[in-house]
Structure 1
Amino acid sequence: MLAGEIPTWIGEIYNMHYLNFRGNKFHGSIPQEICNLTYIQVLDLSINNLSSIIPDCFSNLTVMARKNSQFPNPGPSISTVIISQNAEENKRYGYSSFQWKGHEWEYKQNLKFLKLIDFSSNRLTGSIPRSFSYMKGLNSLDLSRNSLTGNIIEDIGKMEMLNSLDLSYNQLSGKIPTSLAEIYSLGVLDLSNNNLSGKIPTSTQLQSFNASVYAGNDGLCGDPLPRCPGNRLRPPTTNHPRENTNEKDDNVGLSFMQEVGISIAFGFIFGFWGVIGTFMLKKSWRIAFFNSFDAIGDWFYVRIVVSLSKWRHN
């Protein structure tokens, strides 16, 4: 139930490893001095009323910048501050609990291997600090449920050890950086309910996630969402593209048959009715036409009689 602003003197506890202010009523901004905690491994400020922008100074967090889990021993000093909803339980049993992959996890001996930043469920604004890309050893980053704007940082792929990334329920825009596909350790991802657009980068890593990971971004397309309009290069995953091709071929064939039918109709009208109409209007043509038929019939009759006579005599 602590309120007020996070004090700037917190940055003077240089040897701190774990700072958990989760679930209080802190307001105001995240102090710039927090980046003086060069040994910090867990920084949890989630579920408060913090506002303003996130300070762009995380390149100073040297322990989080290292991919291995080893860090220098700072000597005897305060290393952990836990002011959270479970503070009494943490103090009694000697462990801490943090949000990890969307669930509450308790850490005892393995706490030293965890590197985590959680600023979720506040009222933070502005863009994601570019200095986040320096934290190559960070395991989990949760900035969800804020009011962050701008693009996802292009160099996010430099966070090579990132296993969990949650940027959901913000106002982020632009394309998903292609470098995100280079984080092969990424096991949990949530980019839902933003204003992201464009094609999801093609990679086995990003396409393996469920479509719900990208839901609520009307401008996004590509696997596992519906394919992008005009995208002819993406291999078909269903039979729909072939069915559409057949339908198009059928339409072309139908158009050709219509043209043939129209041609036949006009030919019949101008050919047949042209001749019959002329015979009906001109009596002399009609008489000449039937006389020619009589002459042809007489010629055939004579030829048949002559042929039969020759056959009998032979």
Structure 2
Amino acid sequence: MNTKLYFVLLFIACQSIMAIVPKSEKRVLIDLYNSTAGENWNQKWDLNKPVATWHGLEIENGNVVAIHLMDNNLNGELPTSIGELSKLKELDVAFNKLKGNIPTIIGELKRLEVLRFGKNKFSGSIPNEIVNLHKLRILDLFNNNLTGELPKGIENLERIEVISISDNSLSGTLPEGLGELQHLKRLEIANNKIEGDIPDSLSNLKNLKSLVLAENNFEGKFPSSIFSLPNLKVVQIQRNNFDQMYIKNSLPTETSVVMLDYENKDKFSENPIESILNHTEVRTADTKFEDE
């Protein structure tokens, strides 16, 4: 046999072997398909064909490492067996019709880096087990029906870059531990029922670019030191109960912020920062679902 042809065939054979996932992982995927009305998906799986041909999957070394089923008409509940995909790095089922509680077994996915559940109908609380995902970079739960407080121990998400949990019914206060998330770039918590003061520890988030706290029940004096964060571009704190006069008097004359929304801003036109208030370079609505 021609040597070149031999190596080509060997490469194809190796790729085929590597694409064969364990029976246990295939069973989990079939659970997912059946529990979310797979027959009605926009892009269905042919269960009679190899797993490697199924839409939205990434397979490495014979294991499923990513599930991308965004906007695919998934309807139903996530199976608890999803926690058995031990090599999974990305789970994206955003913009579907999924309901029920977020399975606590999600906390077993120790390699998970991206978790996208935004724009669904999930209810119940954010499971505390999520803080066990030490490699998580993106946590997207926005626009669901989630209630309860933010998970305790959130500072354990040491690699987190994006926390997007706006448009739910979350309550309680912001934990001090948020200020320990040194990789955090976007903190978006708008339109919830969170109350109390803003922790001064948020002033430690040197990589923060977007801070969206609008439409909650926050009160007191918004920490002025936050406006001096070196990478901050977007601050939305309107429709809360902050001390407005304190905000007016604490705005710095120099800042990296390009968009600031807060109450009665038109009364503060004498402040140099007023020139950025109507800046349209960055809008939360346009950035909610973008990766950094």
Q: Report the TM range for the smaller structure's normalisation.
A: 0.5 to 0.7
Q: Say which structure, 1 or 2, has more relative contact order (CA 8 Å, 6+ apart).
A: 1
- Give the direction of change, closer, same or farther, for the CA distance of 1:222–1:38 in structure 2 (3 Å limit): farther
Question: Which of the pair is proportionally richer in helix?
Answer: 1
> Which residue of structure 1 aligns with residue 20 of structure 2?
none
| Cα contact 2:210–2:235 (8 A) shared by 1 | no
1:215 aligned onto 2:238: yes
> Which residue of structure 2 aligns with residue 45 of structure 1?
117
Q: Once structures 1 and 2 are overlaid, which stretch shifts more, 195-204 or 210-219? A: 210-219
Provide, for residues 195-222 of structure 1, a one-character-per-residue CA deviation record: whole Å limited to 9, x for no partner: 1001111315467868961111133446
State the SS of the aligned residue for 2:187.
Answer: strand
Q: Which runs of 4+ in 1 moved over 3 A?
A: 204-212, 219-223, 234-240
1:151 aligned onto 2:223: no
| Cα contact 1:136–1:159 (8 A) shared by 2 | yes
| Cα contact 2:111–2:135 (8 A) shared by 1 | yes
Q: What is the TM-score when the length of structure 1 is the normalising length?
A: 0.54
Q: What is the TM-score when the length of structure 2 is the normalising length?
A: 0.58
> Which residue of structure 1 aligns with residue 192 of structure 2?
170
> Which residue of structure 2 aligns with residue 180 of structure 1?
202
> Which residue of structure 1 aligns with residue 48 of structure 2?
none
**Residue type matched to 2:142 in 1?**
S
Residues of 2 paired with 1:206 and 1:192: CA distance?
19
1:63 aligned onto 2:85: no
What is the RMSD of the two structures over their aligned residues, measured on CA atoms?
2.6
> Which residue of structure 1 aligns with residue 216 of structure 2?
194
| Cα contact 1:44–1:116 (8 A) shared by 2 | yes
1:124 aligned onto 2:146: yes
> Which residue of structure 2 aligns with residue 27 of structure 1?
99
| Cα contact 1:200–1:222 (8 A) shared by 2 | no
Unaligned 5+ segments in structure 2 are 1-72, 254-267, 271-292
Residues of 2 paired with 1:236 and 1:9: CA distance?
51
- Give the direction of change, closer, same or farther, for the CA distance of 1:54–1:149 in structure 2 (3 Å limit): same
1:130 positional shift? 1.8
- Give the direction of change, closer, same or farther, for the CA distance of 1:146–1:220 in structure 2 (3 Å limit): farther
> Which residue of structure 1 aligns with residue 156 of structure 2?
134
| Cα contact 1:214–1:220 (8 A) shared by 2 | no
Provide, for residues 16-71 of structure 1, a one-character-per-residue CA deviation record: whole Å limited to 9, x for no partner: 0000010111111101000100000000000000011111113321323xxxxxxx
| Cα contact 1:167–1:191 (8 A) shared by 2 | yes
Higher Cα radius of gyration: 1
- Give the direction of change, closer, same or farther, for the CA distance of 1:141–1:39 in structure 2 (3 Å limit): same
- Give the direction of change, closer, same or farther, for the CA distance of 1:140–1:212 in structure 2 (3 Å limit): closer
**Residue type matched to 1:132 in 2?**
I
Provide, for residues 125-157 of structure 1, a one-character-per-residue CA deviation record: whole Å limited to 9, x for no partner: 001112321111111110000000010111111
State how many pairs are aligned: 184
Percent same amino acid at aligned positions? 31
| Cα contact 1:57–1:131 (8 A) shared by 2 | no
Unaligned 5+ segments in structure 1 are 65-114, 228-233, 241-314
| Cα contact 2:169–2:193 (8 A) shared by 1 | yes
Residues of 2 paired with 1:220 and 1:3: CA distance?
44
Residues of 2 paired with 1:16 and 1:199: CA distance?
42
Provide, for residues 262-297 of structure 1, a one-character-per-residue CA deviation record: whole Å limited to 9, x for no partner: xxxxxxxxxxxxxxxxxxxxxxxxxxxxxxxxxxxx
Residues of 2 paired with 1:222 and 1:155: CA distance?
28
Instruction: Report 1:232-251 matches (<5 A).
Output: none
